[in-house]
Amino acid sequence: MSSSAAVAIERPVETLVDLLTQSATRFGRRPLLGQKLGEHWTWTSYQELAELVDHCRGGLASLGIRRGDRVALVSDNRLEWMVAAFAAFGLGAAIVPMIQAQAPTEWRFIVEDSKASALICATREIRDACADLTDRLPTLTQLICCDSTASPSPCVEALMKTGRDAPTPPVSLAPGDAATVLYTPGTTGQPKGAILSHGNICSNVEALAATFPLSSADRSLSILPWAHAFGQTCELYTMMRVGGSLALAESSAQIVSNLGEVQPTVLISVPTIFNRIVDQVNRQMVARPRVIRKLFVTGMELSAKGRRQSLGLTERAALATADRLVLSRIRNQLGGKLRYAFSGGAALCDRATELFETLGIPLYEGYGLTEASPVVTTNSPRSRRFGSVGKPLVGVRVTVDTAATSDPRHGELVAYGPGVMQGYLDRPEASAAVFTADGGLRTGDIGTLDAEGFVHVTGHLDQRYKLNNGRHVFPTPLEERLRQSPYIANLMVHGDRREYNVALVVVDLDTLNQWASQRELHFDDTASLLASERVKGHILAEIGELSGDFRPYERVRDVALVATGFSAQNGMLTRTRKLKRQAIMAQHGDRLAALYDRSPSTTAR
């Protein structure tokens, strides 16, 4: 669809209440939210959502929720999340969303720290885990459950019934009023609540709607949690702005099957999901006949060549054959209608970009952070450069502060614009530390700005360390590159105050066992597999191949292999899947230190 087919945006929205009101008026009975119930997808329209929000607003008002309050939600994406959020907005309250996968201790900390007046829980189990908070916290007066059977707590359904009988009109809001408090999952210490106003979020929505040719004909499969800024702003609110629809993915395991059922036109996600799709396609190709595998490889190679130069007649015919017999079938598995894909949250690996480009689905990479509502830069149909995170969004400016790094080229990225948060809730010192004197937001990320205005992210300030030879290392870019290996599920590079880098590698056991089986290598158990020098040599060879273009001192010389993955549940990852390096070192530091106690392995080939 050309940009001329995009929805004409007549009047910019300045609050999220305006967003719902305008969208319900313009798109009425068009489908907005799809949920799979049993074997069938059911859809809620824009008009139906607006009516449910009206009812819920009256119900929340009956509980005493008013302007300036905060309503916490512990829930994954669901209709009740949307209803409760927009109802709270209409009363002048801000939402404090969390996901169900967070640890109960984190829910409890955030509810207390945010001084929430009400807590809405997705399930009875979450409600029970937080039941004592109403007695312990003076500000928390209401505990509400989405499960209508979870008495004695009031449920969302009962609130809507109350609101139908006692309607409450929405209050008048200003763009500067707080809309949400999003807690950023710090890799050290407790999370901090970033206050985003209605104007902050709506400025991002308006800029995204102006940048991408989206329309009411577009549909996405909703994978990203709305409790995070990326999912909330870039998918939920932006799709609402253009009149599109969203279908809720059943689970991460059902993404590919849901894509086939929903037939989305856009896919908005993080590199982990795109890598999972690539891995599934590769596994399918391994099981296909040799001629199909060869056609797939030919299609990938010719597509890549065609992006660099014109193809000859024979090459175009070969690519057309590969597309007809193989690539078109992969597109159909993804629903057959994908026009665009968007990635953010971490660096995108080359193999994901290459596959989607080969399929004829442009995959655009952007960059942002919660504190910027969240998008700062993005590649787009009009302006794109592979290997970059694009140019600053409309109304946003980015500068590079080299004084923060003492590097003449790489510096801390500083973002300016209407999406920059109001500050951290009740953290004046932390807020002061991230703002420059002229109102810029210190992102903590290291990068460069090229001559054409494209931004390149190369690391993070608090992850930088120094080898004992004085060289500074930013491990994140190398870690992201090495995760492209099908044998590496995750890893952490380490070398702080050491002579060279080593890595703790979480292996992908399924792929590694398949590799061993193909070579008739047999092991009694996982421990003996991980202790094998031949297995270690294979992982080091993978690392060497993938890191060949990194500086010699940045490369990994030795590895410790483990099978237990990093997760938010075991405290090794934040809920946005960033490494908690201190926690990993606390558990595995001795294992890494032992690598330095013996002669290092030969530098990976």
Percent of the chain with pLDDT over 70: 96
Distance CA 252, CA 94 (A): 29
Four-CA torsion 265, 268, 273, 278, nearest 10 degrees: 40
Question: What pLDDT band is residue 350 in, cutting at 50, 70 and 90?
Answer: confident
If you average pLDDT over residues 369-382, what whole number do you get?
97
Beta bridge partners of 51: none
Residue 86's CB: how many other CB atoms inside 10 A?
Answer: 24
Residue spans of alpha helices (H) in 375-508: 428-434, 475-482
Look at residue 569 and tell me whether its pLDDT is greater than 90.
no
Question: What pLDDT band is residue 189 in, cutting at 50, 70 and 90?
Answer: low
Sheet with 118-121, edge to edge strand ranges: 142-145, 118-121, 70-74, 94-98, 178-184, 192-197, 423-424
Predicted pLDDT of residue 32? 98
What count of Cα atoms within 13 Å lies in the side-chain half-sphere of residue 57? 22
Q: Dump pLDDT digits (tens) for 89-104.
A: 999 999 999 999 888 9
What Å distances lie between residue 485 and 292, 350, 444, 603, CA to CA? 23, 11, 28, 17
Instruction: Please say whether the beta carbons of 539 and 604 come within 8 A.
Output: no
Sheet with 556-562, edge to edge strand ranges: 488-494, 501-507, 556-562
Predicted pLDDT of residue 472? 79
Look at residue 484 and tell me whether its pLDDT is greater than 90.
no
Beta bridge partners of 465: 473
Look at residue 331 and tell me whether its pLDDT is greater than 90.
yes
Q: How many residues does the chain have?
A: 605
Q: Dump pLDDT digits (tens) for 288-304.
A: 999 999 999 999 999 99
Percent of the chain with pLDDT over 90: 78
Distance CA 25, CA 208 (A): 21
Look at residue 61 and tell me whether its pLDDT is greater than 90.
yes
Residue 582's CB: how many other CB atoms inside 10 A?
Answer: 12
Look at residue 198 and tell me whether its pLDDT is greater than 90.
yes
If you average pLDDT over residues 199-211, what whole number do you get?
97
Predicted pLDDT of residue 186? 61
Q: What is the mean pLDDT of the chain?
A: 92
Look at residue 491 and tell me whether its pLDDT is greater than 80.
yes
Q: Which residue has the higher pLDDT, 207 or 469?
A: 207
Q: Dump pLDDT digits (tens) for 261-317.
A: 999 999 999 988 998 899 889 888 988 999 999 999 999 999 999 999 999 999 999
Instruction: Please say whether the beta carbons of 182 and 229 come within 8 A.
Output: yes
Question: What pLDDT band is residue 604 in, cutting at 50, 70 and 90?
Answer: very low
Question: What pLDDT band is residue 462 in, cutting at 50, 70 and 90?
Answer: confident
Instruction: Please say whether the beta carbons of 84 and 56 come within 8 A.
Output: yes
Question: What pLDDT band is residue 10 in, cutting at 50, 70 and 90?
Answer: low
**Residue in this structure with the two tokens 């992102």, named with its chain if needed:** 443
All domains in the chain, ordered by first residue: 11-173 (3.40.50.980), 212-226+238-368 (3.40.50), 373-461 (2.30.38.10), 464-596 (3.30.300.30)
If you average pLDDT over residues 45-59, what whole number do you get?
98
Q: Which two structure tokens, joined as six digits, stand for 557?
A: 């010389």
Look at residue 602 and tell me whether its pLDDT is greater than 60.
no
Element (H, E) at 127: helix 124-129
Question: What pLDDT band is residue 599 in, cutting at 50, 70 and 90?
Answer: low
If you average pLDDT over residues 222-239, what whole number do you get?
97
If you average pLDDT over residues 524-532, what whole number do you get?
93
Instruction: Please say whether the beta carbons of 156 and 85 come within 8 A.
Output: no
If you average pLDDT over residues 363-370, what whole number do you get?
96
Q: Which two structure tokens, joined as six digits, stand for 238?
A: 């932006």
Predicted pLDDT of residue 571? 87
- How far is CA 287 from its chain centroid? 31
Instruction: Please say whether the beta carbons of 278 and 341 come within 8 A.
Output: no
φ, ψ for residue 533, nearest 5 deg: -65, -30
DSSP state of 177: S
Look at residue 50 and tell me whether its pLDDT is greater than 70.
yes
Q: Dump pLDDT digits (tens) for 439-457.
A: 999 999 999 999 999 999 9
Pairing of strands 501-507, 556-562: parallel
Predicted pLDDT of residue 188? 56
Predicted pLDDT of residue 252? 86
Instruction: Spell 424-433 as b/e; 16+ CB within 10 A means b.
Output: bbebeeebee
Look at residue 5 and tell me whether its pLDDT is greater than 50.
no
